[in-house]
Structure 1
Amino acid sequence: MNIDFANLTKAFKEHEEEFKRVSLEVMSSAHYILGKETEEFEKGLAEFTGNTYALGCSSGTDALLLAMMAMGLKPGDEVITTPFTFIATAETIACLGARPVFVDIDEETYNIDVGKIEQAITKHTKAIMPVSLYGQMSDMDEINGIAEKYGLAVIEDAAQSFGATYNGKRSCNVSTFGCTSFFPAKPLGCFGDGGAIFASNEEDYQKIKAMRVHGQVKRYTHHYIGMGGRLDNLQAAILNVKLKTYEKDIERRQKVAESYSKKIDDKIIKPFVKEDRTSVWAQYTIRVQERDRIQQELQKHGIPTAVHYPIPMHLQKCFDYLGYKKGDFPISEKCAEEVMSLPMNPYLENTEVEYITSKLNTLL
């Protein structure tokens, strides 16, 4: 048996005729950037999350950049975040000349350890950027409380958690800014690059709306330094189709995760989701010893795996200038050596889950 890790082909086949119809409409209209499809998608995003302000943009990475640009982040400022994440989280902070300040993670959820945030705050701190890793949101009430105490912004890096809930509220509707990605392999993915940014007030919304079009408030009138960060209409049209059935996809992902958790041997450290929240299972990530051996053996049986992420940010060469060293964030370092993601998508069948888990359990 050969297992498909993300099953993007099945995702296409499920709505193939609708995808073809809306794509042809966009191409026939010759209106490729922004437009009615994007406006419809932004309205759908706001309704889905419960947030008032939503803007489509060119990627999850650009969403993070736009959020920090809108809050006026400048060289010398600091943003507190986690070292156990994808490069875009810290990279975008550095791109604006600010300094990523890392805080270790909670070993159960892999999200930022809120108990360690306050000790990292300095007079230069301007924001906290929690990452909703693997599909589960961070401890947002505590984070927002710390931010309010010190007058900081909160930017949720929700690239992996769109659709997740925290105390009944959706990801991207719990902080100053919410930023997500629609990269094809994400739980809600388009057919290229795409992202969205959510703002909690109209002033930020209007500023970001201008900044994603080079700071332009009307044609050739620029009030801000911005960027080319627009979502193209074709991707918006695709996402409009997928958003209509996204709740169903989330439910199917949750059933796959439940099945994994029941069938995987308890010797393996399985994902932990706190009672006050839900995960959209961007990844189903376990922790194992002898990871390389297990990955190789599973691959022999047609079972692909992935490691998200093998090198924490503070040990990446590009961040040498920050002065961190091995041992500074021991939980992140330990998890980076042990995490392994199994195939996860809404289309995994029970027989496939049974096959994957039975092979995995024999390798312990």
Structure 2
Amino acid sequence: MGQQAAKSFAPCVVRGKGNGPEGDQQQLTVCIQRVERLLSDTETLKRECDAHFRRAGLDAHGAMRRVELRRLLWTFAHSLGSTELTWEAIEAFAVTGTLEASVPVVTEDEFYRCVTKTVHLVAAELRRKLQEAEAKLHPTPQRPPMQVHRESSATPKTPSRHSTPWAALAELSGSDAESPVSSQASHGSQVEEKLAGATAQEHLVVQDVIEQKSFFRPAPWEFEGQSAPDQCLQTHQDTPGVNGMTVLVLSNEGSFDPHSLLVKGGMLVLSSPVAEARTGLGMFAASDGSNSFDLSLLETIVCGAAVAHTPAAAMIPGVVWKTPESTARTVVLFFAAETALCLWFQEVHHCTLCCEALRNEARAYGTEPLCDGLHA
């Protein structure tokens, strides 16, 4: 067991220059696979945390000193491949919500939960870096300029070789006249018909390009004959950065646990591979224990300082109210059937982005939730 624990806490990447984007991608892929194995195998992670807890400097009561927790979490995060996480970030996201600021020692269960949240932090950083590395290796292809489509649809009798536009109009009408007066007088109706045909052909080319773009990113209420629910199913694609975001969710026990967030198809889905079976997702969890919330039943979104004026404030730990910044990262969602959900984000702009995505998704499915503390 000790050897297995030592292997998991061994450094995952070598500090130094990589072999370009391709080398970075390979290293990040290995690190992400390792982190995901830790998150999926909760028994192994718990066993390893217990081993390191016993090796740490414990007091007479068998509790870990808080300064030792700081050292272990930072070392653990960087051994898994993190290069950006500071102790301040780990404290704000992994320790806050699990330990009170005035508590000098850490129990074994609290240490395990802090490690679990730190692993989620590392996973989020590695996934972001992998996306950046893949973007460098495989940049998004750009559409060719519009002139290419117009040239491909040009008629054999192109007017571009003439010195004057009047000669071009004359050729389109079948005349050799160079004078604008003679061209318009003798063949005015024919010129108008041919120009109208050319304009219509260009319009078809442009419309074809628009339809190709819309095929990949359909906009709501755009296509005739498509029902409103079918169009609304695509709204989650317009909110990049929300899906896959890691957020702390207040459980029935009054503590925060990390979950992965997904807004799709009118639903808010929260998933946690490391959550214990006895831990609920929200302050008032659904009766069936589901981790999916129907946004068509969303009634109110409360953000930031406005949360203090809701009935849910009594159940939120005091660490949330410690600073204005930590309070601004808090959101409470009230659903029908007396269901509420408290979310605590890592950054203030993550909170704002998620709230806007939830509100837009609820609107797309026929609900206009009340918003308190969220700027329009």
Normalization by structure 2: what TM-score? 0.25
Larger Rg: 2
Higher relative contact order (CA 8 A, sep 6+): 1
More helix by share: 2
Normalization by structure 1: what TM-score? 0.25
